[in-house]
Amino acid sequence: MEEKNQTDITQDFFDRLNNGSKNDSNLKLELASDSLRKVLTKEVKLKDFNERLLNSKQEKITVKEILLESELDYINSLKQLKTVFKEELKNAIDKVNDLYESETLKLQKLYKSEVVGDRLLDIVKTISKSGWILLMKESGVYCYKFYNPPFEVIEGHNEKGVIKEYDEPVCSIRGIYVNILHPQVTYGSILLSTENQHPNCDKKNFGSACVGSLENRDIPLDDSQKLLDLLNEISATYEVCHLDSAYYTPMINFKTRKDKQWKAA
């Protein structure tokens, strides 16, 4: 409800302003200013105010003061919303990543237990104590021992207990591979990686080792400690040259000694 004695801005109002005499023009302008001020100091919709101004014939109007209440700063509001959104999105992503990592660890444990098997994991833990690792390749599953630095082979043995000590290394062993997919030790079960040819290996640098007395030995997978004992026996076997089953005889100066533990059959 409009206040009493309140004068609305109408066409008549502006006609009176334009058609009055010069003598009372100042008075009329003051009255109009007061009337306009009263109108502007109350709540007026911007649409209504624009329509009233457009409907007037006055070309120039001086507005001394307009008060806008509850004006929204859209730019700052959008910036704040953007900041809040980024923060919430980051928190959401962090939560998802945490859940993903947790579930991934669970899946890895299940995979190792169900697919790889606890037995295989036990083998890995046991053989690692003596420097062996489990190596999976297309052609097999190997227990592998890496020598760093390479092991220099400087001794040769024969079945009579004679030991030859060479003046320089016959070869150096870089690694030994034992294929545990084989149920028993056979030709191709043991591979040697060497610098120069090992007398008990069929090829230079990398090849199959002559298994000698190790042939037909079981490769136990049901007992990790027994498997480790076999692997250590294999590595000790090829850290020397077995001259009775050699592919070639090393032509290097040597000294001989007799193995005290050797006994004639």
Structural domain contains residue 28:
yes
Task: Answer with the one of 45, 67, 91 that is the final residue of a domain.
Answer: 91
Integer angstrom CA distances of residue 210 from 110, 198, 242, 246:
40, 10, 10, 8
Q: What is the pLDDT of residue 211?
A: 92
Q: Are residues 48 and 142 in the same domain?
A: no
Structural domain contains residue 102:
no
Q: What is the pLDDT of residue 18?
A: 53
Tokens of 49: 């105010």
Amino acid at 112: K
Question: pTM score, two decimals?
Answer: 0.55
Structural domain contains residue 80:
yes
Give the integer Cα–Cα distance in Å for 63 and 73. 24
Low-confidence residues in the chain, pLDDT < 50: 1-7, 9-10, 13, 17, 20-23, 40, 115, 262-265
Q: What is the pLDDT of residue 20?
A: 46
Q: Are residues 81 and 165 in the same domain?
A: no
Structural domain contains residue 104:
no
Collapsing DSSP to helix, strand or coil, 179 comes out as: strand
Structural domain contains residue 116:
no
Q: Are residues 228 and 135 in the same domain?
A: yes
Q: Are residues 151 and 232 in the same domain?
A: yes
Task: Answer with the one of 91, 118, 146 that is the final residue of a domain.
Answer: 91
Residue 19 belongs to what domain range? 1-91
Q: What is the pLDDT of residue 199?
A: 96
Task: Answer with the one of 91, 115, 140 that is the final residue of a domain.
Answer: 91
Q: What is the pLDDT of residue 171?
A: 95
Q: How many C-beta atoms surround the C-beta of residue 50 within 10 A?
A: 10
Q: Are residues 134 and 74 in the same domain?
A: no
Q: Are residues 135 and 221 in the same domain?
A: yes
Structural domain contains residue 112:
no
Q: Are residues 78 and 140 in the same domain?
A: no
Q: What is the pLDDT of residue 129?
A: 87
Q: Are residues 32 and 135 in the same domain?
A: no
Structural domain contains residue 14:
yes
| DSSP for 30-79, written as a single string | HHHHHHHHHHHHS---HHHHHHHHHH---S----------S---HHHHHH
Structural domain contains residue 251:
yes
Q: Are residues 133 and 240 in the same domain?
A: yes
Is 13 within 8 Å of 32 (Cβ atoms)? yes
Number of domains in the chain: 2
Per-residue pLDDT of 66-82, as tens digits, reads 555 555 565 666 677 77
Q: Are residues 81 and 11 in the same domain?
A: yes
